[in-house]
Structure 1
Amino acid sequence: IQIEDNDQNQPEQATIGHQYNRFLLLLLLDPCHLQQGELRLCFDFLVGLAGKAHITPATAETDATGRYVIDRLGEVPPYLFHPDCLDKLPQPRFALFDLSPVSKGLHKKLRQMERSEQGKPQAITKLTMHEATNLLARMLKSWHIRLKRDSERHSTSGEVMLWIGIDSIYTYLNGKSITTQLSDDEIDMTQLGGIQGDGGSPENHQISAVRTNQSRSGVALKIAKNSTNAPLVGELVLFSSHQQRKESDWKLGIVKRALSCNEELLDIGIQFILGNIEPITLRLANQQQTSEEVKDRPAIFIDQGHTHRSSLIVPKNFFVIGQEYRVEEMVPAPTITPLQLLETTAKFERYRIKSS
């Protein structure tokens, strides 16, 4: 990331200390978990907040909240401060980075946005209000909560298959073929009549991966960097440890982390979405009321065993809250109405729905 000249148009921002704070705040967001485009958005947004952070010496009276240990020699990455480790922090090599004033201001801004008392910050105006509040909430979470896994991961190995993107998952679940052309590493997806796809875009395909560890809630994989050119964090994937079709082994998930291992391999972390999955085709119920034709779109229905817990994953910006859509596979075709947006990424949206 480059520091633009207009990022330093205020005298207090045109200092090494201010920009150092800005980079530390960005680093502590754990950028390998950020979705496509969010790294730059966060960096632009943080230029106005970095001046509120402080670097202070560590003392026995220091409150641990919102403070990270930083190594001025750069040999140890920042980590959350705890007073018990004070004797292991010789000065001046180690100091504390206090971001609590930053997070307090950000928390206040977030609450005002949620209550519609304040608009979006200038740096993230390109996002919708829901996307903006979601991003700010995740920033606060990254700074203050180091999540622990809710289930133990076990080391494992073996080749597995991944289907990336709603279109390729829909295609595979419907029994269509997705074949890899070994000669040039390009993917040839079977085109579906009436379905608006991405025209063979590189993120919609099947790739192989090597599993390194797995738990009830997720899996860690290594994939070849040249197997996909698309940003993966926030992408929907279907995971299977069998080469042949085996429905009981299918697991739907979201890529939560992508980290470079070396020049050839990428380490990705996938969080599973629990529930039985079913591909469906959606059509706007009242086409005649729209000025232009809305094409049929693939979707993934997630049945979690209860009507009020089931949800639907659709392509980004397809659903309109309150609008009715028909499920084309069923006769007579039932209608689905999106009620609540549960999750949004750069690639898809997940909704709570009402069916009739």
Structure 2
Amino acid sequence: MTLRVVEWSTGTVGRHAIAGIDAHPDLELVGVWVSDPAKVGKDAGRLAGLDRDLGVLATDDREALFALKPDAIVHTAMTDDRIMEAIADLTEFVSRGIDVVSSGPVLLQYPYGLVPDDMITPIVDAARSGGASLHVNGIDPGFANDVLPLSMTSLSQQIDKVVCMEIADYSTYYQPVVMGELFGFGKPMDHQSMIFTPGVLSMAWGSVVRQIAKGLDVALDEPLVERVEKVPADRDVDTVSVAIAEGTLAAAHFEVVGQVNGEDRIVLAHYTRTSPEQCPEWPTPDSGDGSYRIEIHGEPFLRVEMSHHARTGDHNVSGMIVTAQRLVNAVPAVVAAEPGLVTALDLPLVTGRGLVAT
């Protein structure tokens, strides 16, 4: 059965989601929502950079999209700086009986033990009353630190520590709000950026640590541990999102850690550069300029490095593609799932079924 899908936004992830929906044999793109008035009336194919029309025109009319009676919404709108508004949107979607896969807010990837129950209950109740499911995922938080590490642990005899790393050069990552405001790249070193405010890292990536702990049946110490290392630019650096002057924030290493009896057991780490030559003492990708590295310390020691790059060669473009595709390819499984909030622990194996080139 072909599922009717609405794509919600056409930004850095949404444009790739449109292409993914169009390529998927079990999905039909029936509507596209945009926030930019200049995009209203434009064909989805053009907005996705496909150089061809798909016969679906973008709109900012929510009710018109709901009237299409879609089976699912692929929601890729920016949520990092509008968390509560995004949760309200998702709650409305599922209350109308529409299944949803979304790239955020990332805390909903696995919110249990992360936020108060009264923040989760309304959206779960709305989903169950509407008979719909909601799945929040992507690549990180997402596949690189839920399905991938948990699958690797199936090879273990003893597990001492699970480490999930993102190692990346963000110089070609076009997200001015994320780069300039959330991370604070290009800001003075004493600037208190949102993401490094105590507690925020645990809110954003604590879901990763807690979901792995749940999958391994581990009770963690409370609270989670946050570690931050910030490095200034030793020269002026230009990125596609922000200009970084010498002496301002240019690189950051952070960790969100789940401990057991004071010992690190589950570690989520990011090594974020804005120029490849920065911080040579930090881990570097085995290949290219961006990767996810999983290490399972124990018996035996296991390590997997997942590198990626787009056909253009840019790993930041492929990062948006894999985020979009993890959502798009999960649509059939989420539609088939029981109503409520669906995590990676609840889903069957999600594959690229039907996407092999012929």
Q: Higher strand proportion, which one? A: 1
Structure 1-normalised TM-score?
0.23
**Bigger Rg, structure 1 or 2:** 1
Q: Higher helix proportion, which one? A: 2
Compare relative contact order (CA 8 Å, sep 6+) and give the higher one, 1 or 2: 2
Structure 2-normalised TM-score?
0.23
